[in-house]
């Protein structure tokens, strides 16, 4: 069964959804949606794992740590998200933007996630 904050994709049409309240199986285009289980380790030269820089309440998330992920029309980071305790903050990005986002939040437990339109879902 789906869980809150999981992200699913329809392999037929490309719809992507995030679970706010799990209550049943997700179906799109007459087939089950696929869980985008976020990856945490990147062995390619292009890095996807979100890198968090915390300065008091200023949280900067970069993709990736040492080299910026491409932000081209055909290949870019679509969003960067912070899960902070029981809150979610999301920055949508466009080609040409920097592959990073800044959030001003107070939280004890922070996880960052991002979605690359080619290489999928990643988390810190
Ligand atoms: Fe990528």
List, for residues 56-91, the tens digit of each pLDDT value.
Answer: 999 999 998 888 999 999 999 999 999 999 899 999
Cα(110) to centroid(ligand 1), Å: 23
Residue 66, phi-psi category: left (phi > 0), alpha (psi -120 to 50), beta (remainder):
alpha
Cβ atoms within 10 Å of 112's Cβ, excluding its own: 25
Cα(117) to centroid(ligand 1), Å: 7
Is the pLDDT reported for residue 41 higher than 70? yes
Contact assessment for residue 57 and residue 105, using Cβ atoms and an 8 Å cutoff: yes
Cα(98) to centroid(ligand 1), Å: 14
pLDDT tens per residue, range 17-36 = 999 999 989 999 999 999 99
Q: How does residue 46 score in pLDDT terms, banded at 50, 70 and 90?
A: low
Q: What's the rounded Cα separation, in Å, for the pair 38 and 81?
A: 12
Q: Which domains does the chain have, with CATH numbers?
A: 1-37 (2.20.28.100), 51-123 (2.60.40.730)
Contact assessment for residue 93 and residue 71, using Cβ atoms and an 8 Å cutoff: yes
């Amino acid at each position: 069964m789906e869980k809150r904050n999981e992200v699913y994709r329809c392999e037929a049409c490309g719809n992507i959804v995030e679970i706010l309240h799990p209550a049943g199986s997700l179906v799109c285009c007459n087939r089950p949606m696929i869980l985008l289980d976020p990856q945490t380790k990147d062995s390619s030269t292009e890095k996807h794992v979100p890198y968090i820089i915390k300065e008091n309440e200023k949280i900067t998330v970069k993709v990736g740590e040492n080299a910026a992920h491409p932000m081209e029309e055909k290949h870019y980071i679509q969003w960067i998200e912070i899960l902070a305790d029981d809150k979610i903050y999301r920055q949508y990005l466009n080609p040409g933007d920097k592959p990073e986002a800044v959030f001003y939040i107070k939280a004890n437990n922070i996880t960052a996630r991002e979605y690359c339109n080619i290489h999928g879902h990643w988390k810190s």
